[in-house]
Structure 1
Amino acid sequence: MTVNSASARYEGFGKDGKGHLWTKRGALDGEPYGFASRFEDGPGTNPEELIAAAHAACFTMALSFALARAGHSHGQLDTRADVTLERDGDGFQVTKSALTLTATIPGIAAEEFASLAADAEATCPISKLLNCKITLTHSLSD
């Protein structure tokens, strides 16, 4: 079992509050977040952006390992995750995470690539965690 952690501090309340994040390994130490970075174009990050980064990274790593198990030794995977936040009554809900994958993998057949990508999406721990619609779009180049 692996346990990772992060922490958040929010000073002030509502739109006027300002938050900062810290992660166990220090990647986000002091990263700002708040209303402006979540609902406007303010500086900093927001929870949905962090979920998108986690989903893209997790899926891409899962596919990388699946490709290695299938005998592929080099190439490039580029994944974008778009996480949708929608109003839900008095609050909000993450309703979708859409993964868009572009890959360059020498010598792979399109059918094998599509199968490995679908399996990686289904077995990615972050895909499993998200209780929302997940779509995968992929393209392969030589």
Structure 2
Amino acid sequence: MAFQSIERAHVQVSSAVELGAGMYNNTYRVQVRGRDQPVVLRVAPPAAKQFRSERELMRNEYATVPWLTSIAPLMPQVVAADWSHEVIDRDYLVQTLLDGVPAPDHLGSYPRTTWPHFSGSWARSPARCMPSVGRASARLPGLGMRRGRRRCR
């Protein structure tokens, strides 16, 4: 996967709009000069506002990407990732913007009885074996995962 650190990218932003409905990150649709499609900037909350189980959650998400190859066509690609806090004082990812309609804008048009099927189909993907790399999984009992080990269903 090719990505670069933002401070070396020399990008020029022509517009940025915060996207609502984020439950953890601040999320923005960003139009970058010289790029046809906008990108998505996801910024983790400040460490002081995170629960213990949420610390470095974005880093954990990023670390799982290689184990999700079976559903990669359904996911945004990571364009850049930075944990240095030099450009933005928090962890952040830049990802491609997926085509389509955001789920909160359209999910309500489907009968509520069908909603569990949407999450169930991707949750049963073949990519079920991944390492645990974050602090939370190393400390919380009952997860069955420890740092550096793998757990497969």
TM-score bracket for the superposition, by shorter chain length: under 0.3
Structure holding more strand per residue:
1
Relative to the length of structure 1, the TM-score reads 0.28
- Does 1 or 2 have the higher relative contact order (CA < 8 Å, sep 6+)? 2
Relative to the length of structure 2, the TM-score reads 0.26
